[in-house]
Structure 1
Amino acid sequence: MSDTSKASPADIMPIADVMARLRDPETGCPWDIEQDFASIAPYTIEEAYEVADAIDRNDMADLRDELGDLLLQVVFHSRIAEQAGHFRLQDVIDSIAAKMIRRHPHVFGEGARREDGHAQWESIKAAERADKIPDPSAMAGVAQALPALLRAEKLQKRAARTGFDWPDAQGAIAKIHEELDEVTSATSHAHREEEVGDLLFAVVNLARHLKIDPEVALRGGNTKFDRRFRQMEAIAGDAFVGLSLDEKEALWQQAKQAE
């Protein structure tokens, strides 16, 4: 088996050199110099979503650019870490290459077989997590900073592995009705907020049972709403804002039927 755990630095080093120049304390860019992990993190999240957006639009030119922007975030964080004496970009590359090999024994192992690859991945990942994180809970390692829909799905999947799960989608649907009743019966803003959170969590659970990615589904819903609302505005022109709710609802139905 060839050793692919060491990636060649030649391909990625040009952007690393650019970042080193930008972060040079004496000759670099003042904005880049003053950044730290926390200040850059929101940009990292934003760039990941822009990659997803380019994929949704099937815009390959934009995807190329957005992947470059996302790669820059990795380089930026790695440079900050290197200057603080923690690790280098090459360490990041070597680490992820080694991890992919370690988690794919069905591909890279001796007498490798491709069946049951996902099960092996999850088993190895769980063992690594147990070694790395002192928290013994099945919920350990699900990052607090994840988008709420994604974190809800991950928490539910972890719970399901322990057997704490509805046997089918009907249980999830019943839970949605239960949570909706609790929203309507809540008597304070704080209580309503809590119950709406429970309702959203239950909807994510239903999506999981139906094998639907809730983030993808909601992005689709957002796109649909945006498209129909723009059609309403186009039909009504400058008069749109002054229309009654009933008139706007009629426009909504018109835009919906036009699809």
Structure 2
Amino acid sequence: MAGAGEPGREGSGQEPLLVFRTMMRRLRAECPWKREQTHRSLSRYLLEEAHETLEAVDALAAAEDAGDPRRRDAAASHLREELGDLLLQVYFHAAVAEEHGDFDLDDVASGLAEKMVRRNPHVFGPDPVAHDDATSVDDAWQRIKAEERPRAALLDGVPATLPALLLADKALDRLARAGRPVEDLDPDDLGDRLLGLVAEARAAGADPEQALRDAVRRRV
């Protein structure tokens, strides 16, 4: 039988997400290492867990492509674990914020739900509008997002630290929406040639970041 201080007793009969919220608060109170963490000190772990989750996603895709059920099951289990580690970071940051009186996990979830309602009027609006394809949905999402957060500059809201291919993809998307297609690329400039390849990928409806990652994985 679980003791009074064990997760099995604390979470008896509760939803797992609520159980872990209670556990996170206790960890912050009783674990010296976790108690001293801040948003900034946790940043490296958020980045690491995000990359590990992406790796698990790629592994699952590779297993599915290989048509190996056992390998796929193992990859799916690994992805579940990595998503849990990523979720830990959300709980951790929310716990830190709660202690400072900034916001708590409920505020995070409520804000997200409100955003989904605002940006998906075709689903949640009083007069749902049918969209024929994903592109029109994305266009509507981007329009609503721009109305919520007017931009002073073209790349406002796009982190400069994004991987280069993803940054280029985002920049080309913003330029296209602003009616400023990229032209006159210099074929002798490596950067321009790479930018041209990203534009080519976009025209083909492909994700250049994922395409390059897949190409590398096929060869290693």
**Cα shift at 1:18:** 1.4
1:12 match: 17
Q: How does 1:42-57 map to 2 (within 5 A)?
A: 42-57=44-59
The question of 1:101 aligning with 2:117 is answered yes
Q: Is 2:185–2:192's contact at 8 Å kept on the other side of the alignment?
A: no
Superposition CA RMSD, Å: 2.2
CA separation in 2, counterparts of 1:178 and 1:138?
26
Q: Which has the higher contact order (CA 8 A, sep 6+)?
A: 1
What one-letter code is carried by the residue in structure 1 that aligns with 2:138? H
Q: How does 1:169-180 map to 2 (within 5 A)?
A: 175=185, 177-180=187-190
Q: Is 1:176–1:203's contact at 8 Å kept on the other side of the alignment?
A: no
Aligned identity (percent) is 42
Q: Is 1:179–1:198's contact at 8 Å kept on the other side of the alignment?
A: yes
Any gaps of 5 or more consecutive residues in structure 1?
A: 1-8, 181-196, 227-259
**Cα shift at 1:67:** 1.0
**Cα shift at 1:122:** 1.4
1:80 match: 96
Any gaps of 5 or more consecutive residues in structure 2?
A: 1-13, 61-74
TM score, norm. by length of structure 1: 0.66
2:9 match: none
2:11 match: none
Instruction: Give the secondary-structure state (helix, strand or coil) at the position aligned to 2:101.
Output: coil
Identify the range of structure 1 (112-121 vs 90-99) with the bigger mean alpha-carbon deviation.
Answer: 112-121
CA separation in 2, counterparts of 1:85 and 1:145?
29
2:197 match: 203
CA separation in 2, counterparts of 1:84 and 1:175?
50
The question of 1:38 aligning with 2:40 is answered yes
CA separation in 2, counterparts of 1:147 and 1:22?
34
Select which of 192, 216, 226 maps to 2:210.
216
What one-letter code is carried by the residue in structure 1 that aligns with 2:141? W
CA separation in 2, counterparts of 1:90 and 1:138?
33
CA separation in 2, counterparts of 1:176 and 1:13?
56
Task: Report which of the two structures shows the higher radius of gyration computed on alpha carbons.
Answer: 1
**Cα shift at 1:199:** 4.9
Instruction: Give the secondary-structure state (helix, strand or coil) at the position aligned to 2:160.
Output: coil
CA separation in 1, counterparts of 2:102 and 2:90?
14
Select which of 61, 66, 71 maps to 2:87.
71
What one-letter code is carried by the residue in structure 2 that aligns with 1:12? L
Q: Is 1:47–1:66's contact at 8 Å kept on the other side of the alignment?
A: yes
What one-letter code is carried by the residue in structure 1 that aligns with 2:142? E
**Cα shift at 1:65:** 0.9
**Cα shift at 1:11:** 4.9
The question of 1:124 aligning with 2:144 is answered yes
CA separation in 2, counterparts of 1:159 and 1:222?
29
TM score, norm. by length of structure 2: 0.77
Counterparts in 2 of 1:198 and 1:36: CA distance versus 1, 3 Å: farther
Q: Is 1:20–1:79's contact at 8 Å kept on the other side of the alignment?
A: yes
Q: Is 1:208–1:214's contact at 8 Å kept on the other side of the alignment?
A: yes
Q: Is 1:139–1:159's contact at 8 Å kept on the other side of the alignment?
A: no
Counterparts in 2 of 1:201 and 1:18: CA distance versus 1, 3 Å: farther
What one-letter code is carried by the residue in structure 2 that aligns with 1:129? R
**Cα shift at 1:66:** 1.0
Counterparts in 2 of 1:33 and 1:148: CA distance versus 1, 3 Å: farther
CA separation in 1, counterparts of 2:126 and 2:16?
29
